[in-house]
Amino acid sequence: MSARSVIRHETWTLTPDREPDAEPVTYSMECAVCEASSAASVDFADPQGWALGHSGRNPSHHTFREIIMRPWRTWRHL
């Protein structure tokens, strides 16, 4: 008796998770000079304030990366 394989192609879609129970979108900023970073927040004003304060305390640190954490989900087409 030999083994038998069954292969079936399925189509999947990847989309942002906008379900009521989805994790929130969060924002943070990271200093590109020293790699220090703000806490993640659902309100962009918090990491923005951190970046401005960080530049004030470190005048040569004026380049930042915005980090956005957005939940995504996959679903299979039936």
The rounded mean pLDDT for the chain is 94
- Cβ density class 48-62: b for 16+ within 10 Å, e for less: bebbeebbeeeeebe
Q: Please report, for the chain, the start and end positions of each structural domain, with discontinuous segments joined by +.
A: 15-76
The residues, any chain, with a CB within 8 Å of residue 38's CB and separated by 6 or more, are 28, 29, 30, 46, 47, 50, 51, 54
Model's pTM, two decimal places? Answer: 0.78
| Cα distance between residue 67 and residue 5, in whole Å | 43
Structure tokens at 75: 């679903």
Express each pLDDT in 50-75 by its tens digit.
999 999 999 999 999 999 999 999 98
